[in-house]
Each structure stands twice: as structure tokens, then as C-alpha cells.
Amino acid sequence: MTFGTRSAIFSASKPGCAVRMASICSPTRLSLSLRTTLSSLRTSRAPRISLRSSPISLSLSIKPVRLNFKNPVSASSASAEMAGQCQKKVEKFQTEEEVAVRLAKYTADLSAKFVKERGAFTVVLSGGSLIYTLRKLAEEPYKYMVEWEKWHVFWVDERVVKRDHADSNYKLALEGLLCKVPTPPGQVYAINDALPAEGAAEDYETCLKHLVERNVIATSKATGFPKFDLMLLGMGPDGHLASLFPGHPLCNEKTKWVTHITDSPKPPPERITFTFPVINSAAYNAMVVTGDDKADAVQRALGNSQHPDTLPVQSLAAEDELTWFLDQGAASKL
């Protein structure tokens, strides 16, 4: 698979849009023809594979809440309300290896479900240790059973660096997963690394809106925000997710789909990030946490903590289902 050049091959209704979109809608080249409807895609479902790893599972099923983002009380309180009322599952495993095995099956099953229902699978990645935990997807049986050509890959956040920089989430995912599976390069949507943070965020949001208009990305009937099929997320020891950090004003953003940060407490300082309204509008969200260095944040998010401050991860929700995948270290204080 080659990732290296760009070209614009679609037209847009607004003058100049084709040139602008070409700079962002592909990490390398825009080989996806947006004139082609998804109805032509195959809808055969991949076989389900039964794996041996069996998690200890806690399921909380509570009626979801509908939000009106035209008149929200605040994004943080709305997200907190959704987080308390969505269907939530917690799956615990002894080792990170068992988490990886289970996560591969979970992702492959959802891929088959959405390819059958929609003809495509929109999946959002984060950085950090998550990509390593996704390694089983690039191995048998999933390497050959998943319909990778139906995947559309996005990032929940990205560092504003060149794509070949060591800090790039795109580079991490490319080397850890995407170069090992046959997802078309034109369906892998990296940020425009030639733009500053604010411009890159605006550009990425424009790309998402174009794909929503084409129904590549679904729209949430509850919130009006884009509804990705699956977001695969990680969490920092401080309880941040994406580039939404504790106490930062971006946690309260309620209108933008994608925003930027120039003062990240974790380097590099300049990043773009999805906002909570977009993250929580996903059909399925998977929060993958491994290691005992994150046990305190997990305990605050899922335990009976009486801490007065709310961590960003405590505002995480999903429209259909939120699942936490934990190894023994991460779950050690529950």
C-alpha cells in the first residue's frame, strides 16, 4: 500500500471546495470518488469467529437521553447526563493480550454489522497504546475475514505535526495497523499537516461535513451531529480522552465538530480534537484501558469515587453502547 501523493478527483457544489477538500480528505491521495453511492458496495457479512477469551462482564442498561443542542444547558453537563444514561458495559480481563483478542473480535463483529446495514464502516481511532492493542486485527483470521475495503478511518484527535513525525497519530496507526490491511488509502482521512492548528481543525470539520452530506458518515437523529459507527478510544492517567484535558475549556465546547488546542498540557501543545457532542453521538464507543498507572482514573470513572472534580472521561457516552475494556492493572481499584 502506498501512502505518498495527493490528487483531487471529485467536484463540489461550492467554488474552490474541490481544491480545499483535496488537501484534507485523504492522507495521501483522494482515490475515493464521492460521486459513487454506497449502494454499489458489497454487503456480505463476514463469518463470526468464536474466541476463547471470556471476560468478566458488567452490563448496565439504562434508557438513553435525547439532547437538543440548539438550547443546551452546557456541553459538559449534557455530556455528563448522557454518560450517566447510556447503555454501559465493563469487560475485565487478566492480561493486555486477552484485551487485544477480545477487542479484535468486537471490532470485527461491528464492522460486519455496519457493512451489512450501511455498506460501509466508519471507525475513529485514537493514539497512544490503543494501536498496539488493535494488533490482532492485522492477524488471522481478521486480516482476511474483515471487509477492509469498506472501512473509512478517522482520528478522534491528532497532533499538529507532519505525518512522518514521531508524534503523529496517523504515523502510529499507519505503521501499527493500516499498512498491514487493505483499506483503500483514499478512505483514510488524515489532517492537512500543512496548516496551523486552527486551520487544520476547520479543514477536518469541512471534510466531515462533506462526507455526512454524501452519507458516508451517518447523522445522529438525536443530536444532529455526525454519528460514527465506532470510536476506539484510549485514556490518559489524568483521565483525558482525545485532546480533551481536565479543566480545559474545550471540554465545554457544544457547537463545533472539531476544534483545536494550542496549550495542551501534554506535548506537543498544538492539536486538533473531536468535541464531546461528536464523540458521544457515535453509535458505539470503546474505551480501552490497560496498565495500573490508569487505575486511579478508572476508579473515579467507574467506581464510587466522591471526588469533587469531574474527569473528561466521566463525560463519555454513546448513542447505542459504551464498552470499557480493562486489564487487571487498570481494573485493580474497582
Which H or E run contains 285? strand 284-289
**90 three-class SS:** strand
Q: Which ranges of the chain have pLDDT less than 50? A: 1-80
Determine, yes or no, domain membership for 171.
yes
Confirm if 199 and 206 have CB atoms less than 8 A apart: no
Determine, yes or no, domain membership for 107.
yes
Determine, yes or no, domain membership for 222.
yes
Cis-peptide into 182, omega within 30 deg: no
User: H helices within the chain, ranges in order?
Assistant: 17-22, 75-85, 96-118, 130-133, 142-145, 169-176, 197-213, 276-279, 295-302
Structural domain tally of the chain? 1
Residue 267: the pLDDT is 94
Determine, yes or no, domain membership for 35.
no
Residue 124 belongs to a domain with what CATH number?
3.40.50.1360
Q: Minimal CA–CA distance to 211: which of 29, 81, 49, 37?
A: 37
Confirm if 316 and 279 have CB atoms less than 8 A apart: yes
The model's pTM: 0.78
Residue 10: the pLDDT is 33
| Residue span of the structural domain in which 242 resides | 87-316
Determine, yes or no, domain membership for 76.
no
Which H or E run contains 231? strand 230-234
Per residue in 137-173, pLDDT tens?
Answer: 999 999 999 999 999 999 999 999 999 999 999 999 9
Average pLDDT of the chain is 82
Determine, yes or no, domain membership for 200.
yes
Per residue in 52-61, pLDDT tens?
Answer: 344 444 443 3
Instruction: Return d(Cα 318, Cα 279) in angstroms, integer.
Output: 7
Determine, yes or no, domain membership for 51.
no
Determine, yes or no, domain membership for 194.
yes
Residue 303: the pLDDT is 86
Q: Minimal CA–CA distance to 127: which of 235, 274, 9, 256?
A: 235
Pairing of strands 284-289, 56-60: unpaired
Cis-peptide into 64, omega within 30 deg: no
Cβ neighbours around 78 below 10 Å, total: 23
Cα dist. 50→136, 146, 239, 287 in Å? 14, 15, 33, 22
